[in-house]
Amino acid sequence: MKKFLIFIFLLFASFSLQAQDSTLSYLALGDSYTIGESVSTAERWPVQLAQELRQQGLTIKDPTIIAKTGWTTDELKNAIAESELDPPYDLVTLLIGVNDQYRGYDINDYPDKFLYLLDRSISLAGNNPDNVLVLSIPDYGVTPFASEKNPPKISREIEAYNAISKKISDSLGVAYVDITPISRNAEQDSTLLAEDGLHPSGKMYSQWIEETLPLVLPILKQ
């Protein structure tokens, strides 16, 4: 009887470890767009992504989010260094740069800063670039917030920042999702914006998921 009980215990422990090993982990890095400024926690795009993945039959933890409204590349770098993380993560997403543009930083500094963050993201994904996903910066030039701030200039600069992040992502073999066209639809559809007239609404974030999911599913099902 004692041997039988030991066998049952070991069998249960084995199943428990297998269940833990099959639970996917997700780290989301960014700024206000990742933390979901002016929307509920459930409407944040990383949270929506995790929920959609569960609906696709995957077992995934709630995302670990390192992001804050107003963060630049430098501030995200510092926050990552100061955070207690638990790599490797099965998925790491990165969306950063809008505040570098907003503050008028020299765009020539962005490539090195973005490259550092993308390298760090790959490291946190177990040194596997296939498990990392970069999102483009939304174009806030079409929002009411930017109406008196030279919208054409904002749009041009966002395009320039996105061209840099896309080139670096491609060079490292990291998947890239261009959600900028979706953000521009807010010019005609105010429901795509949160009440602050600047950040995306939960509705827009759900459209990001539609673009992101086809790239994320193969990553997590491999």
* pLDDT tens per residue across span 153-174: 999 999 999 999 999 999 999 9
pLDDT at 2: 53
The percent of residues in the chain predicted with pLDDT above 70, rounded, is 91
Give the model's pLDDT for residue 8.
Answer: 42
The predicted model gives 184-200 an average pLDDT of: 98
Confidence of residue 219 (pLDDT cuts 50, 70, 90): confident
Mean local confidence (pLDDT), 34-41: 98
91 pLDDT more than 90: yes
The fourth-level CATH superfamily of domain 23-221 is SGNH hydrolase (3.40.50.1110)
pLDDT band of 21, cuts 50, 70, 90: low
pLDDT digits (tens, 9 = 90+) for 1-12: 554 444 444 334
Confidence of residue 183 (pLDDT cuts 50, 70, 90): very high
Mean local confidence (pLDDT), 25-31 = 99
pLDDT at 51: 98
| The pLDDT of residue 22 | 80
pTM for the full predicted model: 0.90
- What pLDDT, on the 0 to 100 scale, is given for residue 20? 43
Mean local confidence (pLDDT), 100-113: 99
Higher pLDDT pick, 44 / 221: 44
Q: What amino acid occupies position 120?
A: R
